[in-house]
A = this chain, B = another copy of it.
């Protein structure tokens, strides 16, 4: 019998049957519950305090099952990150398809971020990010994602700069698309780690900074929507 469908019931406590979180990819119910509990534990207690017994208790499952379904605690953590990566990839491609303006893309990214912050996703990512400093396997899961993420940003920035050049506007030489994309990517990452410190003073500043970019992009969208100027910029 493969572990496709849930095994009728067993004497399992009546738990909220696995939230939508990382529930995809045809895992058995137990496996999903463990993954989900591990995620929640990472989000609430952090990586340093992570241990299989608490995870099992949260999942409502015997703790030996963790080594049965995942071969070790380390492997479980890696699969948590894997699931997170799958989820991000799906969202990313979904966003890619939608052909909207730059400002709207930015706004959607902000909405996603708010969700991720509230759901604990940002926290888990930060915990595993730090853990990956001393965990090669974990780091190797992060690197391609970071690179892919930067590539997305770079693509959007390139698009924007080319549009600007079509309007005969150009940024100073050192500000290449790569540089601007780097600014955005690392700013965002820094914002995540800063937000997790939960300094209320920061929140307002972050919103203001995000708003400023939003304003910039709205201006860009407007200019792109207007008819091309005859000879030189009109404004």
Tell me whether B126 and A130 are in contact (CB under 8 A). yes
A30 touches B (CB below 8 Å): no
Q: A193 to B190, alpha carbons, bound, how many Å?
A: 8
A143 touches B (CB below 8 Å): yes
Tell me whether A197 and B139 are in contact (CB under 8 A). yes
A165 touches B (CB below 8 Å): no
CB distance from A79 to the nearest CB of B (A): 18
Q: Which residues of B contact A143 (CB under 8 A)?
A: 197, 199
Tell me whether B134 and A176 are in contact (CB under 8 A). no
Q: A205 to B150, alpha carbons, bound, how many Å?
A: 11
| Per-residue B-contact encoding for A126-145, CB less than 8 Å = 1, 0 else | 11011111100001001100
Tell me whether B127 and A123 are in contact (CB under 8 A). no
Tell me whether A197 and B132 are in contact (CB under 8 A). yes
Q: A206 to B190, alpha carbons, bound, how many Å?
A: 14
CB distance from A151 to the nearest CB of B (A): 11
Tell me whether A133 and B126 are in contact (CB under 8 A). yes
Neighbour of A194 across the interface among B172, B189, B212, CB < 8 A: B189
A191 touches B (CB below 8 Å): yes
| Per-residue B-contact encoding for A207-224, CB less than 8 Å = 1, 0 else | 011011001100000000
A45 touches B (CB below 8 Å): yes
Tell me whether A205 and B189 are in contact (CB under 8 A). no
A186 touches B (CB below 8 Å): yes
Closest 5 CB pairs of A and B: A186-B190, A190-B190, A189-B190, A130-B130, A174-B212
For this complex, 18 residue pairs linking A to B, each with C-beta atoms less than 8 Å apart, are A46-B134, A47-B130, A49-B134, A127-B133, A143-B197, A172-B215, A174-B212, A176-B208, A178-B205, A179-B205, A182-B208, A185-B190, A185-B194, A186-B186, A186-B190, A189-B190, A189-B194, A190-B192
